[in-house]
Amino acid sequence: EVLQLEHTLTVEDENYEFPPLNLLSEGTSKGLKGGKRALADTASKLQKTLYSFGVSAKVENVSVGPAITRYELNLQKEFV
């Protein structure tokens, strides 16, 4: 089920013109610091840290986003 919201806009000046959308620009990609090597190092550190707590897991995939990086783990059968 999708909730439909009603939006109301109140403008005090009837002659007001909204700014054009072309004032907004596309975001810039900052790139990944350290590249693929940094991802591999972090994945290895994650696996070692989990192992130190008795969790045997392997990083199967890494998804880099604009704000966070997601590490997808595959746990050994005794942990599933």
Q: Which fold is adopted by the domain 29-79?
A: Threonyl-tRNA Synthetase; Chain A, domain 2 (3.30.980)
| Confidence label for 67 from pLDDT (cuts 50, 70 and 90) | confident
Strands (E), 7-66: 57-64
Q: Structure pTM?
A: 0.57
Q: What is the pLDDT of residues 5-36, one digit of tens each?
A: 787 777 778 888 889 999 988 777 666 777 89
CB 71, CB 59: distance < 8 Å: yes
Q: What is the mean pLDDT of the chain?
A: 86
CB 27, CB 67: distance < 8 Å: no
Structure tokens at 35: 């590249």
Residue 38, C-beta contacts closer than 8 angstroms, at least 6 positions apart: 32
